[in-house]
Amino acid sequence: MTLDGRPPVLDGSVRVWVAGRPLGGADALAARFAAAGPDGVGDWPGDWALVARRAGDDRLWVAVDAFAGVPLFVRADVATTDPTSLRGPPDREGMRQQLAARFDDPWRTLYDGVWRVPAGHGGALGHPRDLRRIFVPRGGDPNLRAVLQRAVDERLPEGEVWLALSGGLDSSALAACLEGPRLRTTTNAFPGWTADERPFAHAVAARVGAPLVPVDSRGLDPFEVLDLLAPFPPVLVNHHLNLALMAPGRTLYTGFGGDEVVGHGFDVVRQRMAEGRPVRGLLDAVALAARYRHARASFPHELQRWLREAGGAWLRPPTAQQLRERRVARLTHPLLARSREEQILMARSRGTRLEMPFLDPRVAAAVIELPASVRCRRGRTRAHLRSAFAGELPRSILDRTRKADLSQSFHARFHEGLSKRLPLLDAVVEEGLVTASWVDRACDTDPVTHPEVAAELWRAAGIGRFLVSQ
């Protein structure tokens, strides 16, 4: 037994193989696993996966880090980070879930009998679904500034460090943590588009004294990503934006994960209701609708969404335990790990090392127990992150609440890219996953007014590529 040909890092009554870059080193992680089992490594920082054998135990033990920085795939009692070595017949149900972007079964892949070990899970293989969640976020050091700085510093390479500035708060906070002569920054530029975030990126780069290298991303082809993530195509659109910022030998920091890990202001309305403060909850709903929305979302649309949230909580106020479970569920949603998996594989194809400090279990621990009054103030989510970096970032960033609408980057070249890959859709029709009439109607649909149809066509092309490569 080996893991992708690696020798064991611990060779005794417990043999442990480690893939990835656990903070503190593979030897330390293996020793902890040998002493405490899967539950003992559930909150171990870094990007890693491990497999182990115990003397006198025929079972194979596995564990994956909190946010699946190293994807691990299993078939029977074999585990690997390369699913092509476990190749099996296509799984129709897995392809249906892929097409619909469903995450109710994060174990499933597109190969029958090949399973993905979900983020933060571990245990002994039997049926893969017998594995349990070993990452359970608990309260930790509340000094968010210091915790995030440590998560950044412990991942620093030698030489230049690049940061992808999105114009938002999360990547800007990383700029403050990375400030120094080795830092270089880059950003997606969309000259003439409303999604152009260069003014915000320039403000942050100037504040930390780092050069900014914008990349004109208007001509990016979202279908290119399908060819980089074989054998499994991506579920999530917009990964092509990261592709433009990657380069061989580059270490690229991104603020990915900040929304889910730090942005736990989303349940503030429910918490107000649980506290018996319905008026404050309704005022917060109005403030959130006014401030926290994407560029094209209207105030009435957002207000309706937040009032539904308030109304449900008013009729049935949640308990403190239910609120916590809701936060943990959002933090550990399979969508987050799957998106990270796709970005990491894409970076590997470009020879880029990708770092996402917000996806560190210690950062999650710093914020998971914070009350709503700290996490959200006057309609501004991530109030605790704004406070932690007050004085270090421009006011234009600290006061910002809206997000740019990046959908145009997907739609701009959609039909051009689709026309080159129409033969791939024939394979999806032959497999019975969609009908020819659906393909015809979907291809004639405007991707701007019906983005969900465009995304489904994009995923269908990815499934077609998977099928024809088998």
List, for residues 116-142, the tens digit of each pLDDT value: 999 999 999 988 888 999 999 888 888
pTM of the model: 0.92
* CA contacts within 13 A on the Cβ side of 322: 9
**Residue 318 φ/ψ region, left for φ over 0, alpha for ψ in the -120 to 50 degree band, beta for the rest:** beta
pLDDT digits (tens, 9 = 90+) for 142-172: 899 999 999 999 999 999 999 999 999 999 9
Asked if the model's pLDDT at residue 249 lies above 60, the reply is: yes
| Res 207 pLDDT > 80 | yes
- Measure the N-to-C terminal CA separation of the chain; round to a whole number of Å: 27
Q: Report CA 375 to chain centroid distance, whole Å.
A: 21
Give yes or no for residue 43 having a pLDDT over 70.
Answer: yes
What is the C-alpha separation between 179 and 184, in angstroms, rounded? Answer: 9
Residue 276: per-residue pLDDT = 78
Q: What is the mean pLDDT of the chain?
A: 90
Of 150, 284, 162, which is closest to residue 211 (Cα–Cα)? 162
- pLDDT-based confidence at 227, cuts 50/70/90? confident
Instruction: Give me 135's structure tokens.
Output: 């990452």
| CB-based contact 208:183 (threshold 8 Å) | yes
User: Would you say residue 348 has pLDDT above 80?
Assistant: yes
Task: Answer whether residue 468 shows pLDDT above 70.
Answer: yes
DSSP string, 230-276: TTSPPSSTTTHHHHTT--TT-EEE--TTHHHHT-TTTTHHHHHHHTT
Residue 1: what pLDDT? 56
pLDDT computed for residue 321 by the predictor: 83
Burial of 445 (0-12, 13-18, 19+ CB in 10 A): middle
| pLDDT reading at 421 higher than 80 | yes
**Angle (nearest 5°) at CA 334 between 263 and 422:** 110
Q: Nearest 5°: phi and psi at 400?
A: -75, 140
Cα 432 to the chain's mean position, in Å?
Answer: 31
